[in-house]
C-alpha cells in the first residue's frame, strides 16, 4: 500500500534526509498595526528604539537650537573679552541630549562646578570649568597677564568669589537667548569641585549638554554647561509652537497689500481719453478751425482712464450735473512695453 509505514523508520542518529526532499517553507513575517490589523500596501520601515535615551527634539528643532547657541557663544566671547580686557575665544564643540549620569561622568576631576537656576523655571543646571581655566581667569582678575596657571588644585573662597561675576555673565547671556520665549532670571545656588556625588537630577534624566572650548591667553581648556530637560521643556514647547506658526505663515497665501495712511496726500495725474481713429499726415495737415470729425456714439463706452500716463480702467463717459464724469466698468490688463519711438495714436478728449 502507498501509505504503508516504512519498514525501517529513521533513528535519532541517522543522517538527514536527501536533498531532494521537499523543505518546509518558513512562515512569512507579518507586520501588524497597534489595533491588530495588517498593513495594506507598502510596509513601513521598522527600526530599533532605545527608550533609555529618547529623542525629545526633532532635527529641525536641534538645528534651531544649535543656531541659537552659536549666537550665544559669539556674544559671550565678545562680552568676556571686554570684561577681562583681553581676547577670550570660545568655540562650540558639541550640543546633544545625554543622560545625567553620562554628563556628570564626563566632567573633569577636579573641576569648578557652579549650580544655577533659571527662575521661574524648575530645575538646576551645571556650569563646569577646568581648574586651569578657572585659575587663569582668577589670576587675570587679580591683575595678572592672563598666562595659563599650572596646577589642578581646587579654588580658594576668594577665587570662587572672583569667578562669580564671570559665571553670572555666562548665565545672563544664556538666559538672554530665550527672551523671545520667556524672560529668565539666572541665580547661582552653590559650588562644587566634583561631579561624582551631584544629585541635582535622576541618573537617567536627560540633560542638554553644551560643550565649549575656551582660549584665553596661552590657556585652551574645555567648558561645559548642562541643562536638565525638565527645565527646558516649557521653552522647547514654546519654540515648537513658534516654529509651527512661522512655517504656517511661510506656506500661507501672500497677503494682499492694504491701504497705508501715508498714501492719503499723494497726488497722481488722472486723464480720460478715447482711441478715436488714425489719420495720415496729409489729412492732419489739411484740418482747419471749424472742421468736424465724426465719432461713433459707442466710443463713449470705451473711455480709457490713465493713472500717471498708464491705462488702468475702462469706463463710460457722460454728464453728472454740469460736470463731465466717467463711470468705471472694468479693469484693463497691464500694457505691454512699447518699442522706442512707437506711439499709441490716441487723442485726448
Give the span between the Cα atoms of 191 and 185, in whole angstroms: 18
CA distance 329 to 81: 69
Same domain as 222, residue 82: yes
Q: Assign 202 to helix, strand or coil.
A: coil
CATH code at 182? 3.40.1550.10
327 within domain boundaries: yes
> Does residue 14 lie in a domain region?
no
Cα–Cα distance measured from residue 177 to residue 208, given in angstroms and rounded to the nearest whole number: 15
pLDDT of residue 182: 87
Q: How many domains does the chain have?
A: 2
Q: Three cell numbers at 56?
A: 525629545
- Residues in the chain predicted with pLDDT less than 50, given as ranges, are 1-7, 17-23, 26, 338-349
Q: How far does Cα 268 stand from its chain's mean position?
A: 43
Determine the pLDDT at residue 334.
78
Q: Are residues 83 and 225 in the same domain?
A: yes
The sheet carrying 88-99 orders its strands as 88-99, 206-216, 219-228, 125-129, 112-119, 185-192
Q: 274: which strand partners? A: 347
User: Could you give the percent of the chain with pLDDT greater than 90?
Assistant: 20
**pLDDT (0 to 100) of residue 236:** 79
The three grid cell numbers given for residue 195, joined into one nine-digit string = 561631579
Same domain for 228 and 138, yes or no, is yes
222 and 322, same domain (yes or no): no
Question: Looking at residue 340, what DSSP letter applies?
Answer: T
**Residue 162 resides in a domain:** yes
In angstroms, the CA 247 to CA 267 distance is 39
Does 308 lie in the same domain as 200?
Answer: no
Is residue 256 one of the residues assigned to a domain? Answer: no
Domain housing 312: 301-332
Residue 192 lies in a domain: yes
**% of the chain surpassing 70 pLDDT:** 80
Rounded to two decimals, the pTM is 0.57
Cβ atoms 166, 83 nearer than 8 A: yes
The DSSP output letter for 261 is G
Amino acid at each position: 500500500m502507498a501509505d504503508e509505514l516504512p519498514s525501517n523508520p529513521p533513528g535519532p542518529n541517522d543522517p538527514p534526509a536527501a536533498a531532494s526532499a521537499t523543505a518546509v517553507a518558513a512562515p512569512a513575517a507579518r507586520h501588524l498595526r497597534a489595533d491588530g490589523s495588517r498593513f495594506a500596501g507598502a510596509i513601513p520601515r521598522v527600526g530599533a528604539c532605545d527608550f533609555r535615551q529618547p529623542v525629545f527634539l526633532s532635527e529641525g528643532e536641534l538645528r534651531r537650537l544649535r543656531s541659537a547657541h552659536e549666537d550665544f557663544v559669539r556674544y559671550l566671547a565678545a562680552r568676556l573679552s571686554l570684561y577681562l580686557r583681553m581676547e577670550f575665544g570660545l568655540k562650540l564643540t558639541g550640543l546633544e541630549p545625554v543622560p545625567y549620569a553620562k554628563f556628570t561622568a564626563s566632567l573633569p576631576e577636579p573641576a569648578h562646578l557652579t549650580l544655577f537656576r533659571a527662575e521661574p523655571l524648575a530645575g538646576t543646571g551645571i556650569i563646569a570649568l577646568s581648574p586651569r581655566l578657572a585659575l587663569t581667569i582668577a589670576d587675570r582678575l587679580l591683575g595678572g597677564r592672563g598666562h595659563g596657571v599650572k596646577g589642578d588644585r581646587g579654588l580658594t573662597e576668594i577665587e570662587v568669589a572672583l569667578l562669580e561675576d564671570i559665571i553670572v555673565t555666562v548665565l545672563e547671556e544664556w538666559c538672554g537667548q530665550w527672551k523671545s520665549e520667556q524672560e529668565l532670571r539666572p541665580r547661582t545656588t552653590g559650588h562644587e569641585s566634583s561631579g561624582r556625588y551631584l544629585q541635582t537630577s535622576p541618573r537617567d534624566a536627560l540633560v542638554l549638554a553644551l560643550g565649549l572650548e575656551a582660549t584665553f591667553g596661552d590657556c585652551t581648556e574645555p567648558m561645559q554647561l548642562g541643562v536638565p530637560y525638565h527645565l527646558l521643556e516649557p521653552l522647547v514647547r514654546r519654540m515648537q509652537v513658534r516654529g509651527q506658526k512661522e512655517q504656517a505663515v511661510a506656506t500661507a497665501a501672500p497677503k494682499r497689500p492694504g491701504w497705508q495712511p501715508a498714501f492719503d496726500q499723494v497726488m497722481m495725474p488722472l486723464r480720460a481719453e478715447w482711441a478715436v481713429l488714425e489719420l495720415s499726415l496729409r489729412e492732419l495737415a489739411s484740418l482747419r478751425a471749424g472742421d468736424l470729425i465724426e465719432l461713433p456714439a459707442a466710443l463713449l463706452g470705451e473711455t480709457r482712464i490713465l493713472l500717471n500716463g498708464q491705462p488702468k480702467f475702462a469706463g463710460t463717459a457722460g454728464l453728472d450735473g454740469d460736470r463731465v464724469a466717467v463711470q468705471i466698468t472694468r479693469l484693463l490688463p497691464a500694457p505691454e512695453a512699447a518699442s522706442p519711438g512707437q506711439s499709441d495714436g490716441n487723442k485726448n478728449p
